[in-house]
Amino acid sequence: MHDTTNLSQPQSLSPLLIPNLSDVITTDDVSQKGNGNYKADYVNWCRVAHLLHAHAPGWQFNVQPSPTGSHVWEAPNGTAYVVGFFTGPNGERTPDFPQSVMDNRNSPVAFTKVSARDFTDTHRRCLCTAAAATFSLAWQLWAREDIENPHRETQLKDDPAAAPSVQNIPPERRPMKPDQREQLKLSIGDLPAKIKKEFLEKFRKEFDVKTSQVFPAIQEVRHLTWIQNNMPVIP
């Protein structure tokens, strides 16, 4: 466990500074737990840690001490949680990421009843959830089913509306990398006003965008491909 008491407050981070690991996991990284309607895909916490070391070198997971010096925080209702964050190789610090301490039924644990086992289990779970939120690591699984607690059996939820397994997500439907999206934003923004309006309307019709603003809908690899193939050429 790293001592985080002297770390500075979170600094503003550009998405370009944070590694995008959205396309890192493969079917070899995904395990299954349960049977029938209670079967779920998950990535074990130690594999998450390995993928971070391999693809985001220098980024370290930390747990923030509470004002009392404990690594477990007390919520207003008397339950417990931990606060995780990542530090980067150049002094970056991501925002705090809270994670509830839960029992094997996913019910919150009272602050006064948190055991060492509860804390270590929550530490591992927070590592996984914070990695998904910060680096998009294994986001495909979190979009439909919690990554399983690595140390003890948990009751899986029956979710008939669950999204398909990661191996069934077509590459073109995966999110584009942040630097690609930022470059698209700049390129589209540089278009003359009239041409930009016409181009965005074409995108809206192509992908049936219902929102008033088009750019927030530009997220997936298929959007990147379409824009690259249809971007107006300005002499």
CATH code of the domain covering residue 40: 3.30.390
Give the relative orientation of helices 193-207 and 221-230 as an angle to the nearest 10 degrees.
130
Interval 29-56: pLDDT, tens: 766 666 655 556 667 888 899 999 988 9
Cα(102)–Cα(155) distance, rounded to whole angstroms?
A: 12
Q: Same domain for 124 and 208?
A: no
Residue 71, pLDDT > 80, answer yes
**Is residue 109 within 8 Å of 79, Cβ to Cβ?**
yes
Domain assignment of residue 172, yes or no: no
In a domain? residue 3: no
Residues 185, 16: contact at Cβ < 8 Å? no
Does any domain span residue 76? yes
Cα 1 from Cα 64, distance rounded (Å): 10
- Establish if 215 belongs to a structural domain: yes
Half-sphere exposure of 229 (CA within 13 A, CB side): 9
> Rounded mean pLDDT of 98-118?
94
- Tell me how many domains the chain contains: 2
What is d(CA 210, CA 203) in angstroms, rounded to the nearest whole number? 11
Q: What single letter denotes the amino acid at residue 61?
A: F
Q: Are residues 125 and 30 in the same domain?
A: yes
Give yes or no: residues 210 and 121 share one domain. Answer: no
Q: How far is residue 22 from each of residues 4, 67, 193, measured CA to CA in Å?
A: 27, 34, 33
Q: Determine, yes or no, domain membership for 194.
A: yes
Mean pLDDT (the chain) is 79
Residue 93 lies in a domain: yes
Mean pLDDT on 230-235: 80
pTM score, two decimals?
Answer: 0.55
- pLDDT above 50: residue 196: yes
Q: What is the mean pLDDT of residues 131-151?
A: 66
Amino acid present at 108: P
Pick from 166, 187, 218: which residue ends a domain? 166
Q: What is the rounded distance in angstroms from the CA atom of residue 66 to the CA atom of residue 73?
A: 6
User: Tokens 């948190």 map to which residue?
Assistant: 114
Give the lowest-confidence range in 25-39, 75-89, 159-173, 218-232. Answer: 159-173
Residue 50 lies in a domain: yes
Range of the domain at 206: 178-230
- Percent pLDDT > 70 in the chain is 74
